[in-house]
Amino acid sequence: MLKADKVFIENIKEIMENGNTDEGQKVRPHYADGVEAHTIFITQVVEKYNIANNEFPITTLRPIYIKKAISEILWIYQDQTENLEVLKDKHGITWWDEWDIGNRTIGQRYGATVRKYDLMNGLLKGLKNEPYGRRHIVNLYQYADFKESKGLYPCAFETLWSVRGEYLDMTLSQRSSDYLVAGHINKMQYVALMMMVARHVGLKPGNFMHVVQNLHIYDRHLEQARELLSRTPSEKTPRLILKEGKTDFYSFTVDDFELVDYEPVKPQLKFELGI
């Protein structure tokens, strides 16, 4: 069994059997019908994968749309914009529309923060000029930005980067994860980001660690959780490949990636979003 599937199953069981609930408490998220979206959750969850050894954090228990996941990360770190029209027209993604603050943007968040503080260029230059420095950090959780506009506070909010010989290691910190819906989307899109950055600075992708403070399952996703636990994982080992040729971070496109040997269990599951 894939490590990612094993960990996925273990975490779902831990949430379902031993998790805490915010039922009865006032919560921010709600469903499209206006009902508060409550969760069962666990805290301080850590996963680590050796990307150099083809240990990728993608489940086979349901399909993960890797192209869309990577496109979203390009919108944030390449386009560096909060504009939802760019996300729709360039990348074909509309799921962020639920967080439109009323002007076809998500406010001073994510890509807008990357642009405002020149975070991506700072990271790339730092890794090239001082590879063994311990200050290679990209943090999207900027309180000044939260005061500037409305908008969802970043969920996956910080990456820390370390050079280790010929390898580039990355840690992703996340305050909150809607596990069944976005858990593996977030993991794989940030692995793709690590692969692009590593190529840009002449290194190989090494270890990917994911730290989540609140890992949760929504109360309207419990049936889907039980369905996932009933499925038999694929026996194949999927790998994400960044094709050879390009070396400039800003030149990569989603078509430069290929996910091979990926045979997830179908059909896809449907989820009501907590927004």
The residues annotated as belonging to the active site are: 155
Question: Within 13 Å and on the Cβ side, how many CA atoms surround 195?
Answer: 27
Q: Which residues are CB-neighbours of 77 under 8 A, at least 6 positions away? A: 111, 114, 120, 193
Check if the beta carbon of residue 162 is closer than 8 Å to that of residue 134: yes
